[in-house]
Amino acid sequence: MTRDYLIIGAGPAGLQLAALLERDGRDFAVLEAGPAPGTFFRTYPRHRQLISINKVYTGQPDPERALRMDWNSLLTEDPALRFAHYSRRYFPGADDLLRYLAGFAAPLKDKIQYHTEVVRVARADDVFTLTDGSGVEHRARRVIVATGVSRLYVPPIPGVELAERYDTVSVDPEDFVDQRVLIIGKGNSAFETADALVETTAAVHVAGPHSIRFAWQTHYVGHLRAVNNNFLDTYQLKSGNAVLDGTVELIARRPDGGFRVEFRYARTTEAIRVLHYDRVILCTGFRFDASIFDGTARPELAINDRFPAQTPAFESVNVPGLYVAGTLSQQRDFKRSTNGFIHGFRYAVRALHRILMQRYEDAPWPATPLGPAGVADAIIDRVNRSSGLWQQFGVLGDIVTVDGAQARYHEEVPVAYHREGGLGAHRHAFVVTLEYGPDHDTVDPFDVTVPRIAENDPLAAHDASYLHPVVRHYRDGAPAGEHHLAENLENHWDLPTVHRMPLEVFVKQALADG
């Protein structure tokens, strides 16, 4: 049997796509290597606290807007499948997420094949053949890879094989009593590990060549989160620990069983410093495992071979019919938005589903018809409610197309997909996004000496650095105008004279030439 769709992986992205295909009655199956959904989260994060927030009490009766503060729920019409029913902790545990994914997967049990590890993917005559570890072959016209970044990235350091790894190192602080530890890496996994060890170690050094970037400043939630950065206090307050800026050039074993590390500092004239440690731990991030693809289906890779290279439709750039879902889709917005995380890629997966329906099921992108006079009101309503635009800032946009007296409102379209003509040609198109200002990651929001744009100032809206709506007008596919809605502390962009009226004027002038 050749199915229409095969999904590899029953993590959050695979389950999200499966639920949408099941709702539509499509022909598909999910192949999952583990015994239950969410295999990745059975191991990670190692210290079992998620950094995805779960704000249960938002004061928002609108469930759509409440999703802005719910970073773990998948998209569903069933209110029982909200993550709040599984945990009320602001930073929940990984085991809470596993229970949630099991509950979400329960209605899909007939479509998910557990203990089915795909070991080979081949393609011939526009059909994919997936061979599992038992030698069983599964065939499909389209394959969606939702396996995540499952392999630890190992940097090319001489002697790196001597180091312990984030995926297997002990998580018991008592195993590190009075030891000097070097952690290679400056991301959340490195600082999660460092924070867990400060009570028992003699000293911990966290090392890497790049500056630490804070999520609260860059607005990229994969950068260092406050929940993991207590270690920085112990460094700056001279409590025995340190952050080293530079590169590890060599790791060598000492006769006494410890390690000799040659380190090149980035900010001093000293060529090489020799440092000594009892333990060295790699916390250097993850990458995509492409080993299952043979030469007929091997996707081109991008960003130091960490992700499959993708088109704006989340399709492999060199293997037709091979699509990507979930954290792998962050190649499209790497370190700029939220495709690397559940609260972002759940919307990207819904967009992928709509693209698949467009391409293979003769189902146009869902759209709400309205008259041109209602365009501004529809935009105001959406930017004040939407969770998809909020979470996928600058990446997903609502597209309002206008041809003559007919306007159509399309929600949550990948901006790049629309730019490549994914919705077809139209006389007018308004692209609605939420965006930060271009220099937002260089502004210190806590520095009271830095002048800020006045709140609710429509004349200065285009200079805003905080998240705000942006509406771009295209005429016959060419850029024709841009309008920014003024910043608002509470993210309420509906004041009559500040937000609504200026937008109405912009839309009216844009459509004035028919």
- Domain boundary residue among 233, 257, 282? 282
Query: What pLDDT does 513 receive?
Result: 78
Whether the link from the prior residue into 12 is cis, omega within 30° of 0, is: no
Pairwise CA distance, residues 424 & 410, whole Å: 12
Q: Which residues of the chain have pLDDT under 50?
A: none
Pairwise CA distance, residues 415 & 333, whole Å: 11
**Is residue 349 located within the same domain as residue 373?**
no
Residue 76, judged by CB atoms within 10 A of its CB (0-12, 13-18, 19+), counts as middle
**Is residue 356 located within the same domain as residue 430?**
no
**Is residue 121 located within the same domain as residue 16?**
yes
Q: What is the pTM of this model?
A: 0.95
**Is residue 272 located within the same domain as residue 298?**
no
**Is position 243 within any domain?**
yes
**Is position 454 within any domain?**
yes
**Is residue 295 located within the same domain as residue 332?**
yes
Query: Any idea what the CATH number is for the domain that residue 328 is in?
Result: 3.50.50.60
State which H helix or E strand residue 4 sits in: strand 2-8
**Is residue 384 located within the same domain as residue 475?**
yes
**3 state DSSP class of 360:** helix
Query: What pLDDT does 397 receive?
Result: 98
**Is position 154 within any domain?**
no
**Is residue 16 located within the same domain as residue 142?**
yes
Residue 122, judged by CB atoms within 10 A of its CB (0-12, 13-18, 19+), counts as middle
Report pLDDT digits (tens) over 206-256: 999 999 999 999 999 999 999 999 999 999 999 999 999 999 999 999 999
Which tokens hold the place of 348?
């990207």
**Is residue 18 located within the same domain as residue 108?**
yes
- Domain boundary residue among 328, 360, 392? 360
What percentage of the chain reaches a pLDDT higher than 70? Answer: 100
Strand ranges, E, within 36-173: 112-113, 118-124, 127-132, 137-145, 151-152, 164-165
**Is position 261 within any domain?**
yes
Query: What pLDDT does 452 receive?
Result: 78
Which tokens hold the place of 468?
């705000």
**Is residue 235 located within the same domain as residue 319?**
no
Judge whether 366 and 410 are in contact, CB under 8 Å: yes
For 227, phi then psi, to 5°, come to -65, -20
Report pLDDT digits (tens) over 133-157: 999 999 999 999 999 998 899 999 9
At residue 395, what is the residue type? V
Which tokens hold the place of 198?
């400060």
**Is position 484 within any domain?**
yes
Domain residues for the domain of 11 are 2-149+287-360
Angle at 388 between CA 31 and CA 394, to 5 degrees: 105
- Domain boundary residue among 360, 392, 425? 360
| β-pair partners for 138 | 130
- Tally of domains within the chain: 3
Query: What pLDDT does 447 receive?
Result: 84
